[in-house]
Chains A and B, each alone.
Chain A
Amino acid sequence: MSTGYQIVVLGSVVPDPLQTLEPAQTPQGPGLKNELMLPHVLDPWAAHALYEAANLAARTPGSKVTLLSLGPKAKLQQVMMAVGQRVPFELVALDGPAGGFTDPHEVAARLADAVKALPGLDRSRLLLFGGWESASRGAGVTLQLVGERLEIPDQFQGVDQLTPGPDGAFEVLERVEGGRHQVSSCAGAPAVLGWATGSLGEPKNNPQVGMANMRAIMPALQKAAPAPVGTGRVEYLSVAVPRTQRETRIVKDMSPDDVARELVEWIAQD
């Protein structure tokens, strides 16, 4: 493939998982207590997708990565200071809420419109990346809905590996039961790929990459269009944390066997 891929990664911010996440009723509907005051990170599932996208782009000359984020502009800016140093990408920002209670149909509509509006979009080179689920929502439907709105029939979820082949075709490993993968062949773009964890570590910060990215990221944040998505027609009668309270511990030097044993015991209590 001579012209490379146009990889659009959908991903937004979520509160740092170490924070105390306490559901609360807000004037805008359900949310988390002090949500906008909490430090945020790029949704870890979307982050996997972004790093895989950058890796694929680096291996496929002519490719370009665009991160499309719908989230509070101020929080996006904070998160970009770290993420922007990891891999080269361009940012398209939509200024709106990014909590776990927004209606995925509304979000998907906004994202799909933003993808269609990307300058020079070439569907024959388009790969739509994202997390197969999210740290703010376990349903994992938004990416699929965006794909449908863009009329992309080839969708893969739980992706751990994408191997480009000749003439734009590629092979995909999707997670299935029992820790195994399903192998699929796709004739080529456009396609939707909802990433699981992939196989790449988190890239180290590189300030040179950061400075190059920031020249485009900061203007993109400045001109982020408002995207006031809501909770749709969904009415939340009550919101509560899971029955089993989270108990965070930091333990040093624990073997994987001991960790597994403790997890099994914990699950068995439920």
Chain B
Amino acid sequence: MATPALKAHPDTLRTLPGDDVRQLMWRFAERYDLQMLVQSARGVARGPVARLVAEGGRNEHEWTARKNELLAHYDASGITAAFMEPEEGGFIAGPKNLALALAAFELAWVDAGAATGALAGFLGLSPIHERGTPEQVRHYMSLAAPAKPGEDRRPWRAAFALTEPIPYVGVDTGMLSGKVSVAEWKEGEEPVLRVEKRGRFITNMGFANFVTAAVDTDDPRIKSSCLVILEETDAGTFDRGTPTKKLVHQLSSTSDPIFSLQVPASRIVGGYTVKDGVIVPRFDHSEVIEAVFRRTRVTVGVMTSAKLLSAIEPVIRYQRGRFRGAEQAAPGSVRYELGIQQREDALHRLVEVWAAGEAGASLGFATARLFDELDPLERRKDAALAAQGISGMKATLKWTKALEQKGLELLELEAHPRGEKQEARIAELRADELVRFALLDAQANVLCPATKLWNTGVGASVMREAVSLMGGYGITEDCPGFLGQKWMDAQLEATYEGPEAVQRRQLSVTMANPLFLAQQKAWVRELRHVAGAHPGTGACALASAMELWLWTYRHLERSTDADGAKLVQSPRQGVTFKLADALGWLMAARSQILDAVVLAEEGAPVLGEAHAGTARFFADLCHVQAARAAGEVGRICAELVHGYNRHPSWDAEGCAACWSASDAEALEGIIPGLAGCTGDVVAEGGHPDKEGPCASCQGISDFRTMRVKIDGCLTGALLAKDRAAEALSKVMIPEALDYPQ
């Protein structure tokens, strides 16, 4: 069905959304393996994890016995095995990005430190999983799998050591001070390597049995950097280091380890060859970590969104009960029943928290699903390259460019009215798995950093708002839902696995991909179509904002600043990073709208008579968020378009560009509003107090038209917020939170 009409909508959200709603929106209604994982992870989160937090388990930095008990819960509930293939001891077949995102969401609903602790093992295993030799994969995945019934064995835990205690390492992952050299290389035998590595802020180090460590070559007999696997029993020093004094995520173990070990060369992740007496690792360290972080950053973004959504119920309960017990709030009175929810501002702000949480979750899960589709395609792409004998950066780039052309051709054909011949070509290109790979890859390269950047960065700010809605209670340990701790935690999530600057840097490169830009144009059409079938979702506003962003990007690409310096270039982070920020808002709001559309179109059989009200509520949240996103994008784009033009000075040259007041008045008489396009207006030989724009709009009239359009597209956004706010004042909530405080 279409989203219910905006008029006459007595029905609204009746209860907080349950699993049935989420399964539809996040597209796992047909996946019982994922539904079971959600239930398991929830049981652990709201059981042992919540009890530990409530009992003050976060108040110490050490990895305690109580914290260590959580590992057994992760194993027993299937969280640990969620990363494994069934033949390795897991229970989910195929790609697992959505599975891990869902597990992270459930754990972070209560405590993101627990989520990090549960998932950091996967980070340690990922280099092996993504780039390891078949022997390495088989060996370490089976060691890390939880014991089967009747098996007497403890699973091995993994850690991933990249970050080092020297400035900028981790921010620029290309720099390493950890070294690998040849310790011993006897004729006809496998070389023995000496690894010297100091890690910083390494998760899981309190208990890890093995570590995948990034090291640079320190020996002419080793060609490049690589990742090596270090085991706790290797000869030498395996010092776990002192625990990091984190103010956040205390349910994960973090320390600064020191390794000085000798290991066989077979521990190089992905293996090696020997060429002219030199060890050539199959993958250098950056190739491995690119494959790893590309996926794991999505789960981090999802964690912050879980916090925002987890805040809704405790805030509603707090707001409603705020005055109960006071003399002035007699039972049955509005003050007693609604408490702070009598006030529009409290409700509006909570709507904004909820809308931002929905947008982040939608973006995170959409990206996770994208990677689930992309993973097998990427393997087929690798196989295709190998089959064609294509290797090396130059040859691969040439091949990729040809593929890119096909992708662009498909998008171009789909964008225009077509005949039989074009239809046949479209069908052919759509059936080409490699074209599909190229399109999804271009999306993934943007959506992954966008998820990490927007969900955590904006999420941390919005989480502060959620905390403020609990008053002073919000920053106490007793706050229901642990909101104060979650606010702090969000700051770490914005930092680890690549801080915001890294994500902006990556986006500034990937958003320039022609395949991505072309797909974004298609998304504008898609959103316009959605706006037709589902009015009041904000799809139209978002489409307009997306068009503005695209226009701005193209404009800046060919523009210079007032001194003639190119605007879109790598060092110009004041331009590219801002565009990256704006893109995050767009991507999140788009994903949210698409999820709300699925709920509207497919939710009726599941939700029955509650469907219309639920769909309307989620559409209203979309509208609120889309309006906010459009506003942010408009602001950022306007700043970029105008901000690099020099402000006129009131010298002779500057005054020459000004209009007289009478000229401006005459122009206004011809076309109302035209005077706004003038430079400054000069009256009686001097400048009056400033009243309007100073800059010329020469060459950017399209921009102004689009900005005005966006303003118009905000129509109804605040009515949507009012409706959503009213829903929050009426929605049924449980009598108590389902985890301790």
Which A residues lie at the B interface, using CB under 8 A? Answer: 16, 18-20, 22, 33-34, 36-39, 74, 78, 81-82, 84-85, 204-208, 210-211, 214, 218, 246, 248-250, 252
Which chain A residue lies CB-closest to B737?
A250
Contacts A16-B734, A38-B15 known; 15 new A-B pairs at CB < 8 A = A16-B738, A18-B735, A19-B735, A34-B14, A36-B610, A37-B610, A82-B40, A84-B36, A85-B36, A206-B76, A207-B91, A211-B36, A218-B32, A246-B735, A252-B740
Chain B residues with CB under 8 A of A248: 735-736
User: Is A207 touching B737 in the complex (CB atoms < 8 A)?
Assistant: no
Which of the four size classes fits the interface of chain B? 35 or more
17 contacts across the A-B interface (CB closer than 8 A): A20-B735, A22-B732, A37-B732, A38-B18, A39-B19, A74-B606, A78-B19, A81-B32, A82-B39, A85-B36, A85-B78, A205-B78, A208-B91, A210-B91, A248-B735, A249-B736, A252-B740
User: Is B40 touching A85 in the complex (CB atoms < 8 A)?
Assistant: yes
The answer to whether B655 has its CB under 8 Å from any CB of chain A is no
Q: Which of A16, A218, A250 has the most CB of B within 10 A?
A: A250
User: Is B14 touching A207 in the complex (CB atoms < 8 A)?
Assistant: no
Q: Which of A82, A210, A211, A218 contacts B43 (CB 8 A)?
A: A82
| CB within 8 Å of A: which B709-741 residues | 732-738, 740-741
The answer to whether B20 has its CB under 8 Å from any CB of chain A is yes
Chain A residues with CB under 8 A of B733: 20
CA A246 – CA B735 in complex, angstroms? 9
Chain A residues with CB under 8 A of B81: 207
The answer to whether B315 has its CB under 8 Å from any CB of chain A is no
Q: Which of A16, A81, A206, A249 has the most CB of B within 10 A?
A: A81
CB distance from B622 to the nearest CB of A (A): 21
CB distance from A19 to the nearest CB of B (A): 5
The answer to whether B445 has its CB under 8 Å from any CB of chain A is no
Which chain A residue lies CB-closest to B614?
A37
A18-B735, A205-B78, A250-B740 known; A81 vs B35 contact (CB < 8 Å): yes
Which chain A residue lies CB-closest to B739?
A250
User: Is A37 touching B40 in the complex (CB atoms < 8 A)?
Assistant: no
Which B residues lie at the A interface, using CB under 8 A? Answer: 14-15, 18-20, 32-33, 35-40, 43, 54-55, 76-78, 81-82, 91, 148-149, 606-608, 610, 732-738, 740-741
Chain B residues with CB under 8 A of A82: 36, 39-40, 43
Which chain B residue lies CB-closest to A84?
B36
Number of residue pairs spanning A and B whose beta carbons lie under 8 angstroms apart: 98
Chain B residues with CB under 8 A of A18: 734-736, 738
User: Is A214 touching B32 in the complex (CB atoms < 8 A)?
Assistant: yes
A36-B608, A214-B32, A250-B737 known; A204 vs B91 contact (CB < 8 Å): no
User: Is A20 touching B734 in the complex (CB atoms < 8 A)?
Assistant: yes
CA A74 – CA B19 in complex, angstroms? 11
A18-B736, A85-B39 known; A204 vs B14 contact (CB < 8 Å): no
User: Is B40 touching A205 in the complex (CB atoms < 8 A)?
Assistant: yes
CA A38 – CA B36 in complex, angstroms? 19
CB distance from A203 to the nearest CB of B (A): 10
User: Is B40 touching A207 in the complex (CB atoms < 8 A)?
Assistant: yes
CB distance from B25 to the nearest CB of A (A): 15
User: Is A20 touching B76 in the complex (CB atoms < 8 A)?
Assistant: no
CB distance from A85 to the nearest CB of B (A): 6
Q: Which of A39, A204, A206, A252 contacts B18 (CB 8 A)?
A: A39
User: Is B76 touching A19 in the complex (CB atoms < 8 A)?
Assistant: no
CB distance from A13 to the nearest CB of B (A): 13
CA A211 – CA B37 in complex, angstroms? 10
Q: Which of B33, B606, B735 has the most CB of A within 10 A?
A: B735
User: Is A211 touching B33 in the complex (CB atoms < 8 A)?
Assistant: yes
Chain A residues with CB under 8 A of B18: 37-39, 78
Chain B residues with CB under 8 A of A39: 18-19
User: Is A37 touching B91 in the complex (CB atoms < 8 A)?
Assistant: no
User: Is B734 touching A207 in the complex (CB atoms < 8 A)?
Assistant: no
Q: Which of B39, B733, B740 has the most CB of A within 10 A?
A: B39
Q: Which of A34, A84, A218 contacts B610 (CB 8 A)?
A: A34
User: Is A207 touching B610 in the complex (CB atoms < 8 A)?
Assistant: no
User: Is B735 touching A207 in the complex (CB atoms < 8 A)?
Assistant: no
User: Is B734 touching A37 in the complex (CB atoms < 8 A)?
Assistant: no
Chain B residues with CB under 8 A of A78: 18-20, 35
User: Is B15 touching A81 in the complex (CB atoms < 8 A)?
Assistant: no
Q: Which of B20, B38, B81, B606 has the most CB of A within 10 A?
A: B20
Chain A residues with CB under 8 A of B76: 204-206
CB distance from B332 to the nearest CB of A (A): 12
Chain B residues with CB under 8 A of A207: 33, 36-37, 40, 77-78, 81-82, 91
CB distance from B614 to the nearest CB of A (A): 8
CA A84 – CA B91 in complex, angstroms? 14
User: Is A81 touching B38 in the complex (CB atoms < 8 A)?
Assistant: yes
User: Is A81 touching B39 in the complex (CB atoms < 8 A)?
Assistant: yes
Q: Which of A38, A84, A204 has the most CB of B within 10 A?
A: A204
CB distance from B23 to the nearest CB of A (A): 9
Which chain B residue lies CB-closest to A214?
B32
CA A248 – CA B737 in complex, angstroms? 10
Chain B residues with CB under 8 A of A16: 734, 738
Chain B residues with CB under 8 A of A85: 36, 39-40, 78
Which chain A residue lies CB-closest to B81?
A207
Chain B residues with CB under 8 A of A22: 732
Which chain A residue lies CB-closest to B93?
A211
User: Is A37 touching B735 in the complex (CB atoms < 8 A)?
Assistant: no
CB distance from B359 to the nearest CB of A (A): 23
User: Is A214 touching B735 in the complex (CB atoms < 8 A)?
Assistant: no
